[in-house]
């Protein structure tokens, strides 16, 4: 007959399914909150099935380089939304979490609840984001959002509109796909900025690159 886990053992097991990074709590897919969302039948269709490490690259950069303006943040292609959640938790930002796939938002809400914050969900594709949408945004972030050839132009156009709208800081992270570098090169030619190599070790290990554009 199977034995029940003690409350202490159960608590330890739950804790082992969490990572903490720069002050934000991130669940693994086996965490109870994520399993509950899966049992409810939510199935993301555009790669919003886990936390992507490029988000941690962006968080680490922002933790070391706080922008001048942080009141309003747009997390574009947010997936589970950890970057925007970090901004809400650490800076008290009003965060808009944007994704083309509405099925990611129950996962995002679970991660936000673990961190004691809320963000505003927004279902939108990159090419549908207008300059007017971006006029009150201070920081635009996006992790792993340029993974297909078809995304190079839409992501680039969104950055064009963000610069025109006066967004102060733009940070796009990627594990260095050719599509990311193509998009970043075009953006830098138009707006300046730089691509930074970024590496993490410790609780989260990751390498990649960040496109950073300062527009203040």
pLDDT (tens digit per residue) in 113-122: 999 999 999 9
Q: What is the pLDDT of residue 75?
A: 98
pLDDT at residue number 45 = 54
Low-confidence ranges of the chain (pLDDT < 70): 1-16, 41-50
What number of other Cβ atoms are within 10 A of residue 114's Cβ? 17
* Domain assignment of residue 76, yes or no: yes
E strand intervals along 28-146:
72-76, 94-99, 120-123, 139-143
User: Closest Cα partner for 85 from 108, 65, 54?
Assistant: 108
- The per-residue pLDDT for 62 is 98
pLDDT at position 49:
54
Look at residue 14 and tell me if it is in a domain: no
- The CA distance from 99 to 78, in Å, is 6
Q: Is residue 88 part of a domain?
A: yes
Residue 181 structural domain: 19-42+49-214
- CB of 177 within 8 A of CB of 39? no
Q: Does some domain include residue 3?
A: no
In a domain? residue 196? yes
Does residue 192 lie in a domain region? yes
Specify if 7 maps to a domain: no
At 36 the pLDDT is: 87
pLDDT of res. 28:
82
Tally of domains within the chain = 1
- DSSP string covering 164-192: HHT-SEEEEEES--HHHHHHHHHHHHHH-
Collapsing DSSP states into helix, strand and coil, what is residue 126?
helix
CATH at 170: 3.40.50.150
In a domain, 59, yes or no: yes
CB-based contact 109:27 (threshold 8 Å)? no
Q: How many CB atoms lie within 10 A of CB 157?
A: 15
Identify the pLDDT of residue 94.
98
């Amino acid at each position: 007959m199977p034995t029940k886990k003690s409350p202490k053992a159960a608590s330890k097991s739950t804790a082992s399914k969490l990572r903490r990074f720069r002050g934000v709590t991130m669940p693994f897919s086996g965490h109870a909150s994520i399993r509950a969302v899966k049992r409810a039948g939510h199935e993301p269709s555009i790669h919003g099935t886990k936390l992507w490490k490029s988000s941690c690259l962006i968080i680490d950069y922002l933790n070391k380089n706080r922008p001048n303006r942080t009141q309003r943040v747009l997390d574009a292609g947010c997936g589970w939304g950890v970057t925007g959640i970090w901004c809400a938790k650490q800076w008290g930002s009003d965060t808009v979490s944007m994704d083309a796939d509405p099925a990611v938002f129950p996962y995002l809400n679970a991660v936000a609840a673990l961190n004691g914050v809320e963000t505003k969900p927004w279902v939108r594709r990159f090419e549908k984001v207008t300059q007017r949408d971006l006029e009150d945004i201070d920081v635009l972030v996006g992790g792993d959002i340029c993974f297909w050839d078809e995304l190079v132009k839409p992501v680039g156009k969104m950055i064009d509109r963000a610069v025109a709208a006066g967004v102060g800081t733009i940070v796009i992270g990627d594990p260095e796909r050719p599509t990311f570098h193509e998009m970043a090169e075009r953006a830098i030619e138009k707006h300046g900025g730089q691509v930074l190599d970024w590496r993490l070790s410790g609780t989260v290990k990751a390498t990649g690159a960040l496109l950073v554009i300062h527009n203040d």
